Structure formats: structure tokens, C-alpha cells
Chains A and B, each alone.
Chain A
Amino acid sequence: MTSTTTPVRARALRGALRTVGRIASTIWSNPRARIGVVLLAIFILAATFAPWLAPYGASQDGFERSAGGSAAHWLGTTAAGEDVLSQIIWGARVSVFVGFAAGAIATVIAVLIGLSWGYSRGFGGEVVGFIVNLFLVIPGLPLMIVIASYLQNGGIAMIIAVIVVTGWAWGARVLRSQTQTLRSRDFVTAARFAGDSSFRIIFREILPNMTSLITGAFFGAATAAILAEAGLEFLGLGDPTTVSWGTMLFWAQNSNALLTGQWLLLFAPGLCIALLATSLTLINFGVDGISNPRLREGKGR
């Protein structure tokens, strides 16, 4: 068995690679999604190569305070005498990281709960349903604020945790309804007749047919996470010593940047948050074709 499984494994690996390649090429083939991918790539590159791209350190101060744009400081300096452009570039790290990490964790939880909830019939489903509904009816922002102020100054990990706790329920609900429609399809019944276990049916038969929905849920959750992260930090609920777009807004507000005419201090991080969220939304346009091979080949029956 050991020797013969190798080609089977290799085939499985090749299959997985093919799936990833397929998703990528499907998204790329949609013009709107392509713009989103380019935008997102710019942010990711900026975040990755921040030490080389940023003209100064993130918290490097000592420059002239609250200065306007100049050749040395393109976007000016903050009230504490830090370079705004450098902060924007360094700040991308936190936003991108929190967005993807919180989005991914929330999606994984949503998939696990949504699929098993949708597939099972019986009392267990009712219990899960009650819990999910509970999370859905609690207003998200107040809950976030309550949890965040309770876990004072937990840093990025705390923010991710807060976003995940408040963000998974909606995805679980959506995935559950799709699972319920797929559950009664003939090919699922056929898999049961082929002797497959429920676990395998859920993750090998049903889940791959929801790739577009899950990818969509992920980008949606990531967008929400980026906005929530900025919101929490703007309210001062994060760790104000880290440099992120949210804390930049927080400090800009604290130093009355608008009153002093330094609108760039609010505008630049705000625009970046909006652009990052937009890029993910644009990518979501390209996700639709993933689950439907027929759609992709463009030869409808």
C-alpha cells in the first residue's frame, strides 16, 4: 500500500494545485477583478517592502511638527513630528495582515459551522441555529467595543479575536443555506450510495461546489475586518503605539488635524482604507465563475 499510494497522492496534489490555478485564472479573466488584484498587489507589496520603500522609520520623530507637504516629506508630518508617507506605508502592514488573518479565521469558522449545520438534520442543528441567530442579532459594533475595552490593550491579536467573534455568524448562515440546497442533489445521494462518510461528503462533494461562495465570503469578511480594525483603532481601542491607518486617524483626530488645515492627515489613511476595501470588493466580482466550469468555458448547454 505504501508504494502504490504515492501516485495517488501525487495526483491529489496536482489536483489541488490545479484548483488554485483555476481560481486565480478565473478571477484574472474578469476586468473589474483584475483592477482589484492590481490594487491589492500594490498594497501587499508596499506592506512587504515597507523597510525599503518608506523614506523614514514608522515612529521616527524629531522632524518639524505639523508641517505641510514638501520635498523631504511628501505628505507632511504629524503633530508628533513623524513622516506621514512613511506611516502610511508601514501602516499597510497592520491593515493587510489584520484583514487577511481575521477574514481567514472567520471564514474557516463559518465554513465548519455552516456546512455541518446545513448537512445535519435534527436537534443538533436547532441548537447551532440558536447560537448563530444570537450572534446575528447582537449589534456588531457595540459588542466589538465592549469586548475590546474589556481586553484593554491586547494589541493586534486582540483586535483579530474581536473581529472574528463578531464576524463569523453571517457567513455561516449563508453557507448553511447553500449546503441545504446541495444536500438534496442527486450527486450527494449518490456519494452516500457509494459508501462515503458524512465528513467526506461534506468536504469533498459539497464544499468544492461552494468555492465561489466561500471565496466571496472570505473577501467580504476581510473587507469587514479591515474596516472594523480601522474603526476600533480610531476609537482608541487598539494599542495606540502601533502604527496603522486606524491609529493614524486616531492621532490626527486627537491633534485636531482638520482645524489646523492638515486634512491630508485624515485623508491619506482614509483613502488607503477605502482603496484596500474596494480592491477586495472588486476581486469579488470575479469570483462567480469559479464553481461553474460551464460558465468558464462559455459554452452553455
Chain B
Amino acid sequence: MTTNTTPGQVDEQPILRVENLTVEYRSEGFEPVAAVKNVSFTLRRGEFIGLVGESGSGKSTLGFALTRLAKPPATIVDGKILFHGSDIRTLDAEELRKQRRGGFAMVLQSGMNALNPVRTIRKHFHDIFRAHGHVEPGSFNARASELVRKVELPETVLDRFPGELSGGMRQRVSIALALSLEPELLVFDEPTTALDVLVQHAVMDTIRQLQASEGFTAILISHDLGIVLESTERVLVMHDGVVVEDGPSHQILDDPQAEYTRMLLSHYADPRAEEIHIPGFSTRGRSADAARAERATTSPRSDARAARRADASIVVEGASKVYAPPRRGEKPVVAVDNVSFTLAPGESLALVGQSGSGKSTIARLVTGAEKPSSGLVRFGDSNLASLRRRELRDLRKNVQMVFQDPYAALNPLHTVEYTLMRPILNFTERRGEAARERMLELLETVGLTPAETFAAKLPHQLSGGQRQRVVIARALASDPQVLVADEPVSMLDVSLRAGVLGLLEDLREQWGVSMLYITHDLLSARLVTDRMMVLNAGRVVESGPTADVLRNPSDEYTIRLLDAVPNPARAREGR
């Protein structure tokens, strides 16, 4: 443990000491699986540390174990968790409940959904005050107001119901609720992952300020090394249940020791940089922007797949989409407001914005799933608003969709083979063995080899990245001219993102399909798109070549989006 301690604190007891902790998942009839293996670390009072790892690394299991929230089948098989010198494993239920005040608390990723929808926020606070009796009944309201102000919410939220608050506000409320118990140790488990980019940034700022002003000890669990490095003083990197690196943030950034940390770091880059090197992309060597500029000017290369090249553009002219008001008497919702653009054959266009900016509505308009309230959406010569069922099928053949969530986009009960055969049988002339050959070929195209093995698998036997490859293969099965990709990598681990993005980019080059890439992630947009449109509240606020927009943003909203990108390099600046 090489943490730099200031002289005055040297003899101070650590607030938390974890010794050789091993946690296993034990379910009947299965071999126990160790999620946390022999982990040891200490935490000094007032320290703010980060716990980083990809899904399955055991970081959340560790967090749950620390706060005694681990439930079967997770079992602590070995080791000690000493909180103020006493092992929390030995606490009984009532001692544990008392410990929740002034002891340790946890803020969950889904904490914003943990509020009771039929009780006002004020009642949530009162419940806690009453249960622990640490606030005089007379000062319940004063204390609640004070806590709500601490998390930068107006006092009026106290009389609202959870359903009336946004996701960010609810997460702030759950942080305030955790704070109301005046914990010494607060564990944040992915506190901002379910939130929107800009909100995420703001909530993290609040957490940082609170930690500094309240002086509690905190552990921030996240999959995002960027967020953790820019927020915390010390970082533990977990991989396969083992802490592979433990050190001060700036040291991890400048001189990562573990191979795994280096790999994670290599996937971060500033989207504003002149050149970007991400593993899997740098293989193409030269600056991607230059390559794109070249491609845009020269005619399509004549390779074997030239026959498949896109020849029709998607044209959107002054399209608006207005939804009926959610409640009587309210204003109608304008999701898309007078948007115009053209997606030329073979081009790649990014639609960027936070949720509610109208980017997904545009995707639905372009795929014919919805009709514009006014304006025109055309594919080639056909107006999408006037398509009959038959023509809509033809449109689907040419305009395909890559879904956001690979876990939801595949029917859990169908094999990969069945999933891929459907569009082949529906949209192409291939039948029987020819169709099957095509299916295997698609699997090879998306890099799932040996294809025969993958064809027989069910979705739950595949990893997230592999599933997303199947989703992409399915989108390609009908030889489409346009791919609409709706946040295709946002659900994937950092290390898998580059692979999927690289695949999309290669497919676009080889097959000449055009792509509408919808995202809030500016870095990935920089990697795979030529042009970019920034949307705010249904309007296009800025558009142009991707690199230009990102490097010289002119609209204030674009600048805010850019500032919200987690940037490990900020760890260097010090806070």
C-alpha cells in the first residue's frame, strides 16, 4: 500500500480494512464461482477512492459485500471486513440496522427507482428520521430542506412524487437520503450510469463537492475509468475478481502498471484531438479523417462487392414530429422540429444529442416506423409517408436497424442460425443450403468464427459483444443500403466497443452501405462518421464534417456536450 499520508494522519486507524476477502456465488448444483478473489485494501478516513472494472470483474459484488448487502447466492467465504476495527460479518440484523446511521451507506445505480412512487419525497425523509430517531421530530422539515439543498435541488421537490422528477433529480434525492444518515462511509455503485450525459456530469460534480464539504469517506464503483480518474484520489482496478492495480489516480493515468489498466486507458481519447488512436482503429494507420476526405472525393472503389453499393439517398426535408400532449391541457410535445438533411450513398452521418433531443425519433422516421407530422422523408424516389405494406417491406430490405441493447434485440429462445435465417429467407432468393451458406458467411463477416459453432448457440451463451455482432449480421442479411445504428455500443464494455465500431466501419467501407449513427458518445462518432449533426430539443443546432464540429464547436450546446465527456486527463489537473 503506497498511499501518501500526511504526517498528522500516520497513526490514525483506517476506517475500513479489507483483508483477503473472497466472495463466491454458490447456487445449488453448480460449482461455486469466485467473484472476488483474495482482495485486500485499506481506506483512510475522508478518502475518496474509485473501484473500476468491466462487467463481471466483481466490483459490485465487492461493494455489496462491504456494506453487508450481499445476498445469497453471494457468500463471503474467506477474509475480514473491518469497519473501525470490528468485523462487519459478525453483526446481527439489529446491529446492522443501527450501523446504517453514522456507519456505511450505499447509493445504487437503480437507486433512483428505489423511491416509493406513492409517497412524496418529504415522507421518504421523515421515514428515515423516524426509523433512526437521530433528528428531533420538530426539525424534520428543516433537516429535509437542508439535505435537499445540499444535493442542489430546490426545496419544492420535497412535496413532489418520485414520478414527477427526472432521473437525475431522483438520483440526487437518493444521494440526499443516504446522506441523511450521516454515514462515515458511502459506497456509490455506478451512480450516474443510468443518467444522461449532461446530467451525469452534473451529478458527479455534486458528489465530488459533497465529498469535499461533508468529509465522508467514499468509494465510487464504475465501469468508466474516465469518470473515476477525474473524480477520485486513488483508484483500484479490478479484473476477474482480483485487484490488479491500486494507486493514486495521477499515477494510474501517467504510469499504469498492469496490462489491464493500460488496455482500459487506451480506449480513452479526447474527441477534440487532432488524431485519435484507439486499438482496432489505429490498424488502418493514417489519420482516419484524411482517409475519409479522400474517400468522399474519389469515386467508389470497384471491388468485388461493388454490386451492393448503395445508390439511393435518404432525404429529410423540413420534417417535424409532434406527439399529442401527455395530459389534457398540456402543450403537444415537439420531438423533431423542422429537420433537414441528406444521407448520401456510402456516407456516414452522426446524429448527436442527449436523450429527448429527438435523435431516436428521427431514426423511427427514417425507417418508416413513424410518419412525420409535417415535411417529407424520402428514400430514393419513394416518400416514406405514403408507403403501403408491400412497399414498406421493400424499404425494410434496404434500410436496416442495429439496436442499442444487444441483450434485448435477440429472442432468447432462438439460435443464432434461426435469427439470421429469417431475413435471408424473407428478403433474398436464397433457399435451403444456399441460404444456410449465406448465414455462415454473414457470421464470418462479423468475425464470429468458427461460424458453424456460433450458428448453433443461443443468445445467453454469447457475450455482449458477440450478441451485438449477431445483431449487426442480421441487419446485413438483406443486403441493405442504409444501416441505422441506434447507440450500438453504449451497452458494451469499453474493451468491446472498439471491436464493434471497427466492424461497422469496415462493413461500410467494404459493402458501401450508408450509415446513420445515433449516439451521445462523441468519441465513437468521431471514429466512424464523416459528418455530424448536433440535435437539441428536436432542432439541429450545428452540423458539418465530424472532425470540424468537434474541434471547433460553435454552438454552446455542443461545447457542453464536449465538456461532459469523461476525461481521464483531468486527473492530472488536480481538483
Contact = CB atoms under 8 A, between A and B. Distances in A.
Instruction: Check if A and B associate.
Output: yes
B172 interface: no
A186 B413 contact: no
B27 interface: yes
B412 interface: yes
A209 B408 contact: no
Given A1-B432, A8-B432, A293-B458, A194 B413 contact: no
Interface in B48-95: 55
B474 A4 contact: no
Interface residues on B, range: 35 or more
Contact of B426 (A8, A195, A301): A195
A299 interface: yes
Given A190-B403, A298-B28, A196 B431 contact: no
Nearest to B405: A186
A5 to B, nearest CB: 6
Interface string B378-404: 000000000000000100110011011
A194 B427 CA distance: 8
B443 to A, nearest CB: 16
Contacts of B396: 192-193, 195
B411 interface: yes
Interface in B349-405: 367, 369, 393, 396-397, 400-401, 403-405
B422 interface: yes
A185 interface: yes
Nearest to A3: B432
Interface in B289-339: none
Nearest to A294: B460
A191 interface: yes
Interface in A1-46: 1, 3-5, 7-8
A185 B408 contact: yes
A121 to B, nearest CB: 13
Nearest to B410: A187
A185 B409 CA distance: 7
Nearest to A188: B411
Given A298-B30, A299-B30, A191 B411 contact: yes
B426 A187 contact: no
B300 to A, nearest CB: 26
A294 B556 CA distance: 46
Contacts of A301: 55
Contact of B432 (A5, A196, A293, A299): A5
Nearest to B415: A15
A195 B460 contact: no
A100 B562 CA distance: 64
Nearest to B56: A301
Contact of A195 (B28, B55, B419, B478): B478
A208 interface: yes
A61 interface: no
Interface in A236-288: none
Interface string B434-463: 000000000000000000000000101000
Chain B contact residues, majority secondary structure: loop
Interface string A148-164: 00000000000000000
Contacts of A299: 27, 30, 33
A196 B253 CA distance: 50
Contact of A190 (B27, B397, B401, B412): B401
A17 to B, nearest CB: 15
Contact of B409 (A8, A186, A192): A186
Nearest to A190: B409
Contacts of B414: 204-205, 208
Interface string A163-195: 000000000000000000000011101111111
B408 A193 contact: no
A195 B427 contact: yes
A298 B422 contact: no
A194 B426 contact: yes
B423 interface: yes
Contacts of B400: 193
Contacts of A5: 432
Contacts of A298: 27-30
Contacts of B397: 195
Contact of A187 (B29, B367, B409, B477): B409
How big is chain A's contact interface, by range? 20 to 34
B493 to A, nearest CB: 13
Contacts of B369: 189
A196 B425 CA distance: 9
A1 B431 contact: yes
Among A7, A185, A190, A204, the most chain B Cβ lie within 10 Å of the Cβ of A190
B27 A195 contact: no
A1 B434 CA distance: 10
Nearest to A5: B432
Contacts of B405: 186
Interface in B1-44: 27-30, 33
A3 B434 CA distance: 12
B433 interface: yes
Given A190-B403, A195-B396, A293 B412 contact: yes
A231 B401 CA distance: 55
A185 B419 CA distance: 15
Contact of A293 (B27, B409, B460, B475): B460
Contacts of B409: 186-187, 190
Nearest to B464: A301
A289 B381 CA distance: 50
A65 B236 CA distance: 86
Of B369, B410, B422, B426, most buried by chain A (CB within 10 Å of CB) is B422
A265 B433 CA distance: 65
A194 B369 CA distance: 14
Contacts of A186: 403-405, 408-409
Contacts of B489: none
A291 B412 CA distance: 9
A4 B431 contact: yes
B113 to A, nearest CB: 17
Give the interface centre of A187, A209, A298 by most chain B CB atoms within 10 Å: A187
A187 B408 contact: yes
Contacts of A196: 422, 426
B471 A190 contact: yes
Contacts of B475: 193
Contacts of B55: 301
Contact of A194 (B404, B423, B433): B423
A90 B403 CA distance: 58
A42 B254 CA distance: 73
Nearest to A187: B411
A195 B422 contact: yes
Nearest to B434: A4
A213 to B, nearest CB: 14
Contacts of B401: 189-190, 193
A13 to B, nearest CB: 14
Nearest to B404: A186
A50 B447 CA distance: 61
Nearest to B27: A298
A301 B35 CA distance: 12
Nearest to B432: A4
A193 B474 CA distance: 9
A232 to B, nearest CB: 39
Nearest to B426: A195
12 contacts: A4-B431, A7-B433, A186-B408, A187-B409, A190-B471, A194-B419, A204-B414, A205-B411, A208-B414, A209-B412, A298-B29, A299-B33
CB-CB nearest 4 A-B residue pairs: A4-B432, A195-B426, A194-B423, A186-B409
Given A1-B431, A194-B422, 15 more contacts: A186-B408, A189-B369, A190-B401, A190-B410, A190-B471, A192-B396, A194-B419, A194-B427, A195-B393, A195-B422, A195-B478, A205-B411, A208-B414, A209-B411, A298-B29
